[in-house]
Amino acid sequence: MELLISEKIYAAFQKDLLQARRFVWIATADLKSTFIESGGKFRSILEVFADLVRSGVEIRLIHAKEPGVFFRKEFDRFPELVESDRFERFLCPRNHAKCVIVDGKSALVGSANLTGAGLGAKGVHKRNFEMAYRTTSGPEIQSMMDMLDALCLGDYCKPCKLRSSCPDPIA
């Protein structure tokens, strides 16, 4: 297990994301347009997601509220995210878990949302103060995946006391 602070979170996230071969699961409360350095330039995370989906990687994105305006506009530029069965997006207002799981082999878990300021991709005087742990422990990653899978399958929806105000119930 490795402790990561601020921009080190971004470096680990970027490295793991770009090495994904089978799947990426991301849980976040807040979701904004974020840019990832790839191939010597900064690209929209949605463009990176679209490239991954085209290459056969499945992406599951769980978030607590509607994404920012720029994210929503940018999303529509990538039909593979709208049309592909390899991209799933779930909205659950109760989700405040923040983690990124790549291929079941690595996981980042911490305080950062999927935003530039959260991940540490912004400048040193603009980014949030965040901490995360990165693990490659199989049992820990499996526990995280079990919880997120249950959320995506709607296991928490039926007994949820906030269901009547949920904008998009899963089940």
Write down the pLDDT at residue 56.
97
Within 8 A by CB and 6+ apart from 68, the residues are 31, 32, 33
Q: Write down the architecture of domain 2-165 according to CATH.
A: 2-Layer Sandwich (3.30)
To the nearest 10°, report the CA torsion of 45, 147, 29, 50: 20
CA distances from 106 to 10, 54, 134 (A): 14, 22, 7
CA gap 25, 64 in Å, rounded: 15
CA gap 31, 143 in Å, rounded: 23
Write down the pLDDT at residue 120.
67
Write down the pLDDT at residue 132.
96
Task: Spell out, as residue ranges, where the chain has pLDDT lower than 70.
Answer: 120-121
Flag whether the pTM goes above 0.85.
yes
Contact by Cβ (8 Å): 141, 51? no
Within 8 A by CB and 6+ apart from 109, the residues are 98, 99, 132, 133, 135, 144
CA gap 20, 56 in Å, rounded: 10
Domain locations in the chain as residue ranges:
2-165
What SS3 state is found at 89?
strand
pLDDT in tens, 68-80: 888 989 999 999 9
Maximal CA-CA distance, the chain = 47
Write down the pLDDT at residue 158.
84
Output the six-digit token pair for 4: 């990561």
